Structure 1
Amino acid sequence: MPTAKASASFLFFPRFAKPMAWTCLAAFACLNAAAQVKSGGDLPTVTISAKANPDPVEKSYRKMINGMDLFDKERGVLSPNGSLRFKLLPRRLDTDLNRIEMEVIGTTVDFPVPIAPDQTFTLARHQKAYDENAQVSPNRRAQSMTWRTEIKTPGLPPGTRRLGDLRLECRVGMEAGLISNRSNIVGRMVKALLDTPAYCDRQVPLYLFFAERPLFSVVLVAGPRREILTIDMLYAAASDDPKLKDELPYCDCEVLVDRTYVLPLGDRSWPDDTRVEFEYMDDV
């Protein structure tokens, strides 16, 4: 069992250093290097928004609908009783997720997207918006928030999730293109390699899940088998090392590090009905 002191310190563990470098941290270093070389040949992307937001954070409506299609296709195996919603999460301490307004905006079509008080929403299917590759556009600046899928089976005990639901969350999230921080050419190359549902079949893919509250421990339970996740699977392998702190803003876990965990999604010795149990910092 990890100690509260270790958890609160967000220690960095070597076993995650190498895979993290290929999926996140190496890209961060390349971002910093690329920022020093300015090219005059690239034209800025122009985004039209009803709110005239000069620095929007938006996602592809088409890709999110494709994620919904994948959910419908695979739910019978991974999450027979689960339901899909999309969820908005903060990336900055000063991000206000209350009273967000969001629209789907295409060339000739636009319509509002209602957001629930828990910052979740669903998307209506609209063929013209799909054909026009419309954007799902909230009135928040880029790098101020991030997106995830939320797939939940009803009736689970409080403080628990179902592993099959989370496996499908990863697959739908990748298909929907919800992961942030892919702004430069290196990032786009990484995106092309990793942002597919197949990435979630790796033994321990570095797909970051976020718990409801700061975590003390996460436990997998399948029948008599019970296993506490090692601490290097928590807190996004973050550290109080100043160099790593400089890189943290490039991760969409920036203000959610103490809620972050990864899971052995590709380890099929854990069945889909495995319970993922959370012990929170305020429980101990």
Structure 2
Amino acid sequence: MIASLSLAFGSNVTRAQEVAASSKPVVAESASSTVEQNAEQSIEISNTKNPEWKSYRSMLKGLDAFDRFHAKAPLAEAKFVVRPRAQGLSMEGLTLHVKSDHSSLAIPLTEGGYFVLPRDAQADADDADLMLNRKKKLYRWQPAIRTPGLPSDQLRLGDLRLACEMEWAMEKDGAPFVFRMFLNAIGGFCRSGKLTVSIPTPYLGAQSVALVLADRRINLPLNAGKYSFVLPVHDQTYSDDTMIEIIYDEPSVNLRKPNLATINIGF
């Protein structure tokens, strides 16, 4: 049995790596222009049939998990990212809102689709939704946890653990009751040795992956397509500061293709 989670590991994708990625935060020049922009964006979302959305309260549970497990990645910020589900989908013109029957709060998207979700008491009380101005199943949003200063060919185990806890907090209410009880019984989604966790490499074209902690270096097997690898996320003999080093076919990060795959959990 295989389950799938949508985690992002902060690959710091540049403009050259995303397909037409150009979303930037909007700065209002005046009160009247702000009203006009919000009206235009609200109309755009309203005119999108069956838009991509997620409960704002579910997203807040992800922020709660970030606060609870922040010690796993103490230098990382609570960020999320919007990613296309397939190569070739444009990031041009994407807008994100926290929207209810009574209000609409614009969420700025930076280059690469990254965003910070604010805590808004009114949106929580209104049971608002996070909405993207695109149809369902074309894009996804997910935690984007990355310790600042890491090279593009490295991941940090604590970052991945924190992202996993955030994602499960956001998704578990929608999971079947029996599934949740099963996970609780075996120790949890992100902490059980009975699960096999396959992590996607940030970019396509990986040659090798190694787990590195002090004088310990363990090569991790890549899958057949060389876009993911099995990682012992649960194994506490590896500290949160353990690094994952990836060697790619393409040495230049600007020429690599982003990997749009998601984490897979095997039972």
Would the TM-score normalized by the shorter structure come out above 0.5? yes
Structure 1 residue ranges without an equivalent (≥5): 1-20, 25-47, 236-257
Note the C-alpha offset of 1:188.
Answer: 4.6
Q: Which residue of 2 aligns with 1:167?
A: 161
**Which secondary structure state, in structure 2, belongs to the residue aligned with residue 200 of structure 1?**
coil
Q: Which among 155, 170, 174 is matched to residue 176 of structure 1?
A: 170
Q: Aligned residue pairs: how many?
A: 211
TM-score by length of 1: 0.65
| Secondary structure at the counterpart of residue 231 of structure 1 | coil
Please show how residues 124-135 of structure 1 align to structure 2 within 5 Å. Answer: 124-135=118-129
**Matched residue SS, 1:282:** coil
Provide the identity percentage.
27
Distance 1:215 1:189, change over 3 A: farther
Q: CA deviation at 1:100?
A: 0.7
Does structure 2 retain, via aligned residues, the 8 Å contact 1:217–1:229?
yes
Residues 151 and 168, structure 1, Cα contact 8 Å, conserved in 2: yes
1:195 shift after superposition = 8.4
- Once residues 194 and 128 of structure 1 are traced to their aligned partners in structure 2, the CA distance between those partners, rounded to angstroms, is 35
SS of alignment partner, residue 212 of structure 2:
strand
Letter in 1 for 2:210: V
SS, match of residue 50 in structure 2: coil
Query: Do structure 1's residue 199 and structure 2's residue 189 form an aligned pair?
Result: yes
Aligned to 1:114: 108
1:209 CA drift (Å): 4.0
1:213-259 Cα deviation digits (max 9, x unpaired): 43222211001111111124x75xxxxxxxxxxxxxxxxxxxxxx64
Shift of 1:134: 1.1
The 2-side partners of 1:97 and 1:118 are apart by 8
User: Unpaired runs of 5+ in structure 2?
Assistant: 5-42, 253-267
Q: Deviations over 1:40-91 (max 9, x none)?
A: xxxxxxxx98332212111111111111111112112x11111121011211
Match of 1:50 in 2: 45
Greater per-residue strand proportion: 2
User: Under a length normalisation based on structure 2, what TM-score does the superposition of the two structures give?
Assistant: 0.69
Q: Which position in structure 1 is the counterpart of 2:240?
A: 272
Matching residue's letter, 2:122 = K
1:97 aligned counterpart, secondary structure? coil
Distance 1:194 1:92 in 2: 32
SS at match of 2:188: helix
Is residue 60 of structure 1 aligned with residue 50 of structure 2?
no
- Shift of the alpha carbon at 1:271? 1.0
Kept in 2: contact 1:23–1:190 (CA 8 A): no
Alignment partners' CA distance in 2, 1:84 and 1:147: 13
Task: Spell out structure 1 runs of 4+ moving beyond 6 A.
Answer: 194-197
Q: In structure 2, what residue type is equivalent to 1:68? A: L
Tell me, yes or no, if structure 1 residue 222 matches structure 2 residue 190. Answer: no
State the SS of the aligned residue for 1:138: strand
Q: Cα offset for 1:109?
A: 1.7
Residue 255 of structure 1 corresponds to: none
Q: 1:86 to 1:202 in 2, by over 3 A?
A: same
Q: Contact conserved, 1:84 with 1:152, CA < 8 A, in 2?
A: no
